[in-house]
Amino acid sequence: MLTGACLCGQLRYEAGGTPFHLTNCHCATCRRSSGAPFVAWFSVPRADFRFVQGTPARFNSSEHGTRSFCPQCGSPLTFESSRAPGEIDVTTCTLDDPESLPPEDHTWVRSRLRWVHLDDGLPAYEQARSTG
């Protein structure tokens, strides 16, 4: 079982299942919503994710996407897309042990900031990993 929390600790979550799509996302939406140059995410089946403490605030970040975050400290926590209703993306760095799920690729690198230099040898995709 993966466990995580926001910065202030008001929100805690648990995620089961087998994590997939471990990625560093360089899209402009992740960047602005986090204030960071890119955001590490993992995905799990939506049925295997739950908040066990606190209630997040939600925000429609695009036509198909909804992001949740802590209403008190602002930590970005999840991303859900109506295009992939069976899964939920979770910010890797809100895990209690972010070392346990290292990213396996980079996505949306066409939006990568020029001062971010990638030399970790991971695959890098111009947009999403696959179209759809």
Q: Find where tokens 């799509």 sit.
A: 21
How many residues touch Zn ion (CB under 5 A)? 9
Q: How far is the CB of 100 from Zn ion (least distance, A)?
A: 21
When asked if residue 72 is in the footprint of Zn ion (CB under 5 A), the reply is yes
13 close to 1: Cβ distance less than 8 angstroms: no
Residue selected from 8, 47, 52, 57 as contacting Zn ion according to rule CB under 5 A: 8
When asked if residue 10 is in the footprint of Zn ion (CB under 5 A), the reply is yes
Q: How far is the CB of 56 from Zn ion (least distance, A)?
A: 9
When asked if residue 61 is in the footprint of Zn ion (CB under 5 A), the reply is no
When asked if residue 15 is in the footprint of Zn ion (CB under 5 A), the reply is no
In whole angstroms, what is the distance from residue 101 CA to residue 89 CA?
13
When asked if residue 5 is in the footprint of Zn ion (CB under 5 A), the reply is no
**Closer Cβ to Zn ion, 17 or 29, answer by number:** 29
When asked if residue 25 is in the footprint of Zn ion (CB under 5 A), the reply is yes
40: number of Cβ within 10 Å:
22
Tokens for 57, please give them. 């605030």
**Closer Cβ to Zn ion, 15 or 31, answer by number:** 31
Tokens for 100, please give them. 């346990």
Name the strands in the sheet holding 57-60, side by side, starting at the edge strand that comes first in the sequence.
57-60, 65-69, 76-81, 87-91, 39-45, 20-25, 105-107
Q: What is the DSSP letter of 48?
A: G
When asked if residue 30 is in the footprint of Zn ion (CB under 5 A), the reply is yes
